[in-house]
Amino acid sequence: MEKEVYINKLKTNYKVAGNGQPVLVLHGWGGSSDSWLQIQRILAAQGYKMICPDFPGFGKSANPPKAWEVADYAKWLLGFIRFLKLNKFSIIAHSFGARVAIKFAKNYPKKITKLILCAPAGIKPKPDLETKIIFQISKTGNIIFSKKPLRGFKNRAKNLFYILIRSKDYSKTKGVMRETIKKVLEEDLLPDLSQIKTKTLIVWGRKDKIIPLKYAYMFKENIKNSQLEIVPRIGHSPHLENPERLLEIITKFLR
């Protein structure tokens, strides 16, 4: 069932199915509750109450009024669960959604029964030589494109720059969401990981090219009460690439 509610004056769309232990699903950047329909339907049939909201700026939910940081999304999430009157629940979070889940788990540990992070984002990578060169080119480009004859090409050059540093999501966004993704990407959540006390499952595709496998071990090392499940032949979206295997892993952990 699809529903609509206003959280902090923002129209929020969400889907709910099933009865039983509540499980909140937080989708990734560019996704929505639609991308988790299969997982939601099957877990609902197994006796869980599945709640899948569209983050502000995604799906059928309204855009935030200004550029948000991860903490703003966590504050919105608090308002959402208060509206639903949820006291204890589990979270399944993918990629960007995991950023929000990490911040929320750090601030409100007693509300979460179990935490499942699928290909979580949040650790800011140290720039390699290629990235350093690109950033240097960017600085030079800002000087060049600030000149009046070339000023009109500055936005095009900026889009190319973000594509080069592998942030294709930036080039696909506009307006307030473009500024939002810049703020999100700037924040490093590594210091927050050690403050998560909730029992946590980390699921990672061995062939993930968006967030390489090496970060899986960093998450495992820094979240003390955690276990890591690496899925072979899977990339960044296990819920779409092999939902059957992901369901096996999730179900075992939740039970």
What pLDDT was estimated at residue 170? 55
- Give phi and psi for 127, each to the nearest 5: -65, 130
Shared domain check, 62 and 112 = yes
What distance in Å separates the CA atoms of residue 194 and residue 209, rounded to the nearest whole number?
25
What pLDDT was estimated at residue 7? 97
Shared domain check, 139 and 118 = no
pLDDT means per 10 residues, the chain with 255 residues, are: 95 97 97 96 97 98 97 97 96 98 96 97 75 54 53 52 50 83 94 97 96 96 96 96 96 95
What is the bridge-based pairing of β-strands 199-205 and 48-53? unpaired
What pLDDT was estimated at residue 142? 55
Question: Is 41 in contact with 49 (CB distance < 8 Å)?
Answer: no
Shared domain check, 114 and 94 = yes
What pLDDT was estimated at residue 158? 54
CATH number of the domain within which 32 lies: 3.40.50.1820
Shared domain check, 119 and 144 = no
Shared domain check, 230 and 140 = no
Domain range for 148? 129-181
Domain boundary among 142, 164, 181: 181
Shared domain check, 91 and 60 = yes
Query: What's CA 92's distance to the chain center, in Å?
Result: 10
> What's the structural domain count of the chain?
2
What pLDDT was estimated at residue 29? 96
Question: Is 18 in contact with 48 (CB distance < 8 Å)?
Answer: yes
Shared domain check, 57 and 155 = no
